């Protein structure tokens, strides 16, 4: 759980950074997108690792939840769970599944059309009919519909809640805990859990407003 969690944390940072290019420089966003979309190392080494990481995290998360539920077959009639643990830590499966549902929309928006263009239609050029790179333009078109932008924003709230607990939890799971460093990790975790989802939201809203 923790290892796949760490991996996803690194991936997300990378993803957010590249997306941010679309705000500051559409041209470099196009270049990097084309590189990521056509480089064999990225496509055939990193992408399968990422897919495995996501599926592993999802499958292990669901398995963990089911086993843990079965460890208490009879529930308490009265339970004050919020007295001793925060909401985020108690509902990782809910925030996790919301992220998973978002993947459905996200893949429908980006990954499936990308696969279709590249491998079914066989167009690896990354160009639009006018001869420029198509990536930035495609990105902009996705964020015209306010409902879709709304769904993206809501999803990132769930991601933020997931990371509020997940970031520091992953360190504890691998036994990294120290009087000096753990308070820093917790602060860093909160920062990550706010900044990364907020970054994605900012990018989506930026294109919604500026398309």
Partner 1 sequence: MTKNGMNLTLKVWRQKSDKDKGQIETYQVNDISEHMSFLEMMDTMNEQLISAGKEPVAFDHDCREGICGSCSLFINGEAHGPDRGVTTCQLHMRKFKDGDTIYIEPWRSKAFPVIKDLVVDRTGFDRIMSAGGFISVNTSGNTQDANSIPIAKDDADHAFDAATCIGCGACVATCKNASAMLFVSAKVSQLALLPQGKIEAKDRVLNMVEQMDAEGFGSCTNTGACEVECPKGISLDNIARMNREFMGASITSDK
Shortest Cβ distance from residue 149 to ligand HEM (Å)?
Answer: 20
Q: What three-state secondary structure class fits 105? A: helix
**Contact between 78 and partner 1 per CB under 8 A:** yes
**How much is the CA Rg of the chain, to the nearest whole Å?**
19
Q: Pick from 25, 38, 39, 89: which binds partner 1 (CB under 8 A)?
A: 89
Nearer to ligand HEM (CB atom), residue 58 or residue 151: 58
Q: Note the helical H segments in the chain.
A: 2-24, 26-38, 40-41, 47-70, 87-90, 92-106, 112-115, 135-142, 146-173, 182-210
Shortest Cβ distance from residue 194 to ligand HEM (Å)?
Answer: 14
- Contacted entry of ligand HEM, partner 1, none for residue 58, CB cut-off 5 to 8 Å set by kind: ligand HEM
b/e for 89-126, b at 16 or more Cβ within 10 A? eebbbebbbbbeebeeebeebeeeebeebbeeeeeeeb
Show the tokens assigned to 140. 């902009």
**Contact between 50 and ligand HEM per CB under 6 A:** no
Nearer to ligand HEM (CB atom), residue 42 or residue 51: 51
Chain residues 93-122 in contact with partner 1, contact rule CB under 8 A: none
**Contact between 156 and ligand HEM per CB under 6 A:** no
**Contact between 61 and ligand HEM per CB under 6 A:** yes
Nearer to partner 1 (CB atom), residue 60 or residue 195: 60
What torsion do the CA atoms of 150, 154, 155, 159 make, to the nearest 10 degrees? Answer: 150
Chain residues 123-182 in contact with partner 1, contact rule CB under 8 A: 165, 168-169, 172-177
> From residue 200, how far is each of 30, 130, 209 by CA, in Å?
18, 29, 14
Q: Which of 161, 158, 137, 140 is nearest to 205 (CA)?
A: 140
| Chain contacts with ligand HEM (rule: CB under 6 A) | 1-2, 5, 8-9, 12, 54, 57-58, 61, 64-65, 89, 92-93, 96-97, 99-100, 162, 165-167, 169-170, 173
| Chain contacts with partner 1 (rule: CB under 8 A) | 64, 67-68, 70-81, 83-86, 89-90, 92, 165, 168-169, 172-177
């Amino acid at each position: 759980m923790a290892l796949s969690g760490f991996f996803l944390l690194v991936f997300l940072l990378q993803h957010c950074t590249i997306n941010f290019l679309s705000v500051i420089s559409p041209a470099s966003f196009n270049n990097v997108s084309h590189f990521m979309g056509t480089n064999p190392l990225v496509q055939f080494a990193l992408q399968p690792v990422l897919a495995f990481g996501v599926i592993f995290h999802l499958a292990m998360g669901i398995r963990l939840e089911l086993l843990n539920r079965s460890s208490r077959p009879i529930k308490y009639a009265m339970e004050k769970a919020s007295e001793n643990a925060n909401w985020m830590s108690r509902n990782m499966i809910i925030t996790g599944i919301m992220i998973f549902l978002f993947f459905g929309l996200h893949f429908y928006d980006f990954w499936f059309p990308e696969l279709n263009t590249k491998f079914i239609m066989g167009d690896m050029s990354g160009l639009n009919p006018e001869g420029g790179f198509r990536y930035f333009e495609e990105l902009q078109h996705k964020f015209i519909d306010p409902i879709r932008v709304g769904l993206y924003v809501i999803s990132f709230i769930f991601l933020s809640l997931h990371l509020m607990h997940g970031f520091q939890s992953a360190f504890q799971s691998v036994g990294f805990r120290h009087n000096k460093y753990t308070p820093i990790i917790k602060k860093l975790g909160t920062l990550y859990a706010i900044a990364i989802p907020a970054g994605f939201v900012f990018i989506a809203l930026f294109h919604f407003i500026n398309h």
